[in-house]
Structure 1
Amino acid sequence: MKRLLPFLIAPVISQAADEVPDYKTMKVTEVYANLCAGCHGKDMTGGQGPSLIDGEWKHGDTDNAIFQTILKGNLDFGMTPWEGILTDKQIRSLVILIREKEKEAIANGINFPEPEVGKVVETELEKYQIEMVVNEGLEIPWAISFLPDGRKLITEKEGRLRIVGSDGKLDPKAIEGTPEVLVHGQGGLMDVAVHPDYEENGWIYLAYADGWRDKPEKKGKEGKANAITAIARGRIKGHQWVDHEEIWKADKKFYTSAGVHFGTRIVFDNGYVYFIVGERGGNMEAQDLKNPKGKIYRLFDDGSEPKDNPFYGKPGVAKGTWTYGHRNPQGMDIDPRDGSLYITEHGPRGGDELNWIRPGLNYGWPVITYGMNYNGTPLSDITEKEGMEQPVTHWTPSIATCGLAFYKGDQFPAWQNDLFVGALKQQELRRLRLKDREVTSQEVILKNIGRVRDVKTGPDGFLYVVLNDPDKVIRLAPAK
């Protein structure tokens, strides 16, 4: 047998059995520091062993190949097998950690566009300039939609629906009488969508956190929140919300105090309305068809359910259920070429996804995932399973996907039908090209000017971007 490098096996054999650390209780960073850093370096740049972040892999560069190398080791190269020492979930978490650091190292070597108002930015296929739409006066804007007369609707998380006039000025007065919103954690007033036949029917749709607060236990404290995403529609007359109708609400027994994962977007297609309800931190509730959380819904635009829905008439299944197994999708749009529905979905730490949505399918959360818990503890050791759908692509480290739009305008002909993905954490806008359900190219076209909350193709052909921190709305216009 070839001699093993002593620093690789020291953590296992240099201590008495009762002194060996319990690796199975450690977070992934602690596992790496104890078992891997001595060889590959504290920052993964290498030492007595090779770098883990230079993109070069001797025994295969897939996640599974890296997993097997950690599990089985390689005695010829002095790599200790960690089978039996670490669980499969921990090894999967190590793979995710390595991928995080590898992608961060690659990103640090890239000169991303540094856009500013008036400056020409050159991307792979087009040149653009940023034009300011709303520079001030907004507070946590969440979504934008367009009225046919040139006005724009913008939601603010705190519950206000605002109008930008056809003259480009933000009306200081919010629309009155909109649905009461429970502002709680990540929830509030979220998406707004103008019906495709607005000129005939005047309908505007809203997605928001619906619920109530219990009586506070102590004076001066807020009562416990009870909330879930709801969908409603109404019309605007003057500055007043009128003709309010509830399109979808969950049974109150499913309302929860969690402050996370409200999800949501709204899109229309040939008389149907699609929308998202996040899993509200409920994890396995996304797998339960009798629980409305973690689902995508399809209804007629008046709120009634089509009989060809995959779970129509099944006892206990929420009205309109279209797909399940979702975590926290906050981007959705329809491919103008073939009518396919796509979403972007927040993963946990790693594993953000782009998914092609088809009726009745299970998208896997939390049974399969390319991510781990935020604190570095394992979540799942598998990324695929029979009967569960694989993403079109996924991102590790997490970019915090938010907002999704196919480009349908004529101002940027080289971007026609490309997919634009917003990112909160990475503060960027990505352009993806899809061909035969695969991402054939991907580039960052905008970065570090704010958290991208929403992206839409405007009726003028410009690409509109809603930002948080700072709270602004900009648009990308062809370079002059």
Structure 2
Amino acid sequence: MPRATQARDAATNYRMFCAGCHGDNLEKFAAKQWMEEAGTASVERSIRNGILDIGMPAFAKTFSDREIKELAGYVKKGIPADRALLKPAVTAEGIVKSEEYNFVIDTVVTGLEVPWGLAFLPNGDLLISERKGALHTFSNGRLSAPIEGLPPIMAFGQGGLLDLALHPDYDKNSWIYISYSALDTTSEKRTGSTGVMRARLSENKLTDQEILFIGSPSTDRGHHWGCKLAFDGKGYLFFGVGERGQHFDFPQRLDNTNGKIHRIHDDGRIPTDNPFVNTPGAIKSIYSYGHRNPQGTVIHPTTGDVWETEHGPMGGDELNLIKPGMNYGWPVISYGINYDGTVLTELTEKEGMEQPVFQWTPSIAPCGMTVVTGDRFKKWENNMLVGSLRFDYIERMVLDGQKVVHTEKLAEGIGRVRNVVMSPDGLVYIGLEEPGMIVRLVPVE
């Protein structure tokens, strides 16, 4: 949960700490007696002490007495006069049970196609990318018009506008990082490669655009682009690039960017200690190789470990612990087979090639992953959440060091999970396909 380190106005505090459960327009409160009472004493008490039986935390250590009083007044004044307009997120209906928590699945944004990237801006707005090539902010219950200033995008097959990440020092530099399928405008044919850029957002336009990475070679294939973005807290940006469906051509060679995990500085420079900077003919940004289609990348907030999920063929999806210079084996070793049922390789292990920490057979199509932080799902702290595109659920993975010791399926039937992220107020936000929407998990007692 973010901590109020300096005085903020009530509207800002509401958006940062309260809107995640109670709605951007205060529409998700349940009608209660305190709404009809004079003054704000009851509301102040709830903010200060919390309401544990519905999962509302106490904010006595987060806000000053003045901020609590002003926030209570903001809430009382903003509640719709017509109580019939209230649509509480926490109700007796639709409660989902899990091993550690009961929660509700609360709809946040609808009307999207394929939402891919999600990033929370410091003011509480949600930045959303759609694979078709549209970038939006979601603020006060409204989806913005498409943001201008994106580069040429090859929105074809699995390609398009992909992931989003904020610079760790966004408050100081305002950099937004974007991965995308970069259309090769110099080619007569439609070809593209995975790209990474950064820009700033001003008045619904991207400014100061800088291209940091363009993959090579460019191909006309429409699948296996990667590409999730993750900062490690040391100024390095990690991201995975798929092998573009050419598994015998790219993953085991170092002279191309495909089928690799890459590491660059925040401005695109190559770290001098990258594992292949002194290897003749190698792409200098390569951090690891032998990957098929990385669809999740996350830095563990406690250990600093780099974790990655990738799609196998038919079977053999992987959770990998990424180490510098290591070969993860594709397509020489795999726990999967070809989609037509034929054998791809007889080998599941080979000397000099890394084994997955965990593998899924049958394939779940893991896509998007996060590590649980904050106080709202405290019992899940440091667990990984991995979305399943194929089987429509979230996999909770409990780690003991660098081993997975327990798993649990959450929210089965929720829809094709494209992304999973933690919000600043500690809720789990999920990007879904078919239909395209954003939902969140809200814990209840």
TM-score normalised by the shorter chain: which range applies?
0.7 to 0.9
Secondary structure of the structure 2 residue equivalent to 1:286: coil
Task: Name which of 135, 138, 147 aligns with 1:164.
Answer: 138
Task: Name which of 298, 309, 330 aligns with 1:333.
Answer: 298
Aligned match of 2:103: 128
Please state if 1:426 is matched with 2:395: no
- For residues 286 and 330 of structure 1, the distance between their equivalents in structure 2, rounded to whole angstroms, comes to 15
Deviation string 1:21-65 (CA, Å, 9 cap, x unpaired) is xxxxxxxxxxxxxxxxxxxxxxxxxxxxxxxxxxxxxxxxxxxxx
- For residues 264 and 203 of structure 2, the distance between their equivalents in structure 1, rounded to whole angstroms, comes to 29
Q: Give the superposition deviation at 1:116.
A: 11
Secondary structure of the structure 1 residue equivalent to 2:123: coil
Task: Mark the runs of 5 or more structure 1 residues left unpaired by the alignment.
Answer: 1-114, 216-222
Task: Name which of 374, 397, 400 aligns with 2:362.
Answer: 397
What are the within-5 Å matches in structure 2 for residues 321-360 of structure 1? 321-360=286-325
Deviation string 1:185-238 (CA, Å, 9 cap, x unpaired) is 1100010111111110000011000123788xxxxxxx7421110100000111
Aligned match of 2:160: 188
Q: 2:184, 2:218 within 8 Å by CA — same for their partners in 1?
A: no
- For residues 329 and 427 of structure 1, the distance between their equivalents in structure 2, rounded to whole angstroms, comes to 19
- For residues 464 and 203 of structure 1, the distance between their equivalents in structure 2, rounded to whole angstroms, comes to 22
Task: Name which of 430, 438, 446 aligns with 2:411.
Answer: 446
Q: 1:211, 1:226 within 8 Å by CA — same for their partners in 2?
A: yes
- For residues 212 and 402 of structure 2, the distance between their equivalents in structure 1, rounded to whole angstroms, comes to 32
Please state if 1:478 is matched with 2:443: yes
Aligned match of 2:55: none
Aligned match of 1:265: 228
- For residues 184 and 261 of structure 2, the distance between their equivalents in structure 1, rounded to whole angstroms, comes to 24
Q: Give the superposition deviation at 1:132.
A: 1.2
State the TM-score, normalized to the length of structure 2.
Answer: 0.77
- For residues 377 and 309 of structure 1, the distance between their equivalents in structure 2, rounded to whole angstroms, comes to 37
- For residues 257 and 103 of structure 2, the distance between their equivalents in structure 1, rounded to whole angstroms, comes to 42
Q: 2:422, 2:429 within 8 Å by CA — same for their partners in 1?
A: yes
Aligned match of 1:278: 242
Q: 1:406, 1:418 within 8 Å by CA — same for their partners in 2?
A: yes
Secondary structure of the structure 1 residue equivalent to 2:251: helix
Task: Name which of 380, 387, 393 aligns with 2:345.
Answer: 380
Q: How many residues align?
A: 354
Which AA in structure 2 matches 1:418? N
Q: Give the superposition deviation at 1:130.
A: 1.1
The alpha-carbon distance between structure 1 residues 117 and 299, as it changes in their structure 2 partners (threshold 3 A), is: farther
Aligned match of 2:118: 144
Secondary structure of the structure 2 residue equivalent to 1:414: helix
Q: 1:456, 1:464 within 8 Å by CA — same for their partners in 2?
A: yes
Q: 1:182, 1:210 within 8 Å by CA — same for their partners in 2?
A: yes
Aligned match of 1:204: 176
Q: 1:117, 1:130 within 8 Å by CA — same for their partners in 2?
A: no
Task: Mark the runs of 5 or more structure 2 residues left unpaired by the alignment.
Answer: 1-89
Which AA in structure 1 matches 2:429? Y
Identity of aligned residues (%): 46
RMSD between aligned alpha carbons? 1.7
Secondary structure of the structure 2 residue equivalent to 1:287: coil
- For residues 314 and 236 of structure 1, the distance between their equivalents in structure 2, rounded to whole angstroms, comes to 38
- For residues 399 and 237 of structure 1, the distance between their equivalents in structure 2, rounded to whole angstroms, comes to 39
What are the within-5 Å matches in structure 2 for residues 225-304 of structure 1? 225-251=190-216, 254-269=217-232, 270-284=234-248, 285-304=250-269
Q: 1:117, 1:129 within 8 Å by CA — same for their partners in 2?
A: no
Q: Give the superposition deviation at 1:315.
A: 2.7
- For residues 421 and 92 of structure 2, the distance between their equivalents in structure 1, rounded to whole angstroms, comes to 19
The structure with the larger Rg is 1
Aligned match of 1:43: none
Deviation string 1:128-174 (CA, Å, 9 cap, x unpaired) is 111111022x1211121111110111100111111011x23222x01
Secondary structure of the structure 1 residue equivalent to 2:334: coil
Q: Give the superposition deviation at 1:334.
A: 1.2
State the TM-score, normalized to the length of structure 1.
Answer: 0.72
Q: Give the superposition deviation at 1:314.
A: 2.5
Aligned match of 1:458: 423
Which AA in structure 1 matches 2:252? Q
Which AA in structure 2 matches 1:417? N
The alpha-carbon distance between structure 1 residues 327 and 145, as it changes in their structure 2 partners (threshold 3 A), is: same
Q: Give the superposition deviation at 1:117.
A: 10
Q: Give the superposition deviation at 1:331.
A: 0.6
Deviation string 1:342-396 (CA, Å, 9 cap, x unpaired) is 0110000000000000100000000000001111111000100000000001001
- For residues 224 and 418 of structure 2, the distance between their equivalents in structure 1, rounded to whole angstroms, comes to 15
Which AA in structure 2 matches 1:124? E
- For residues 368 and 308 of structure 1, the distance between their equivalents in structure 2, rounded to whole angstroms, comes to 28
The alpha-carbon distance between structure 1 residues 149 and 210, as it changes in their structure 2 partners (threshold 3 A), is: same
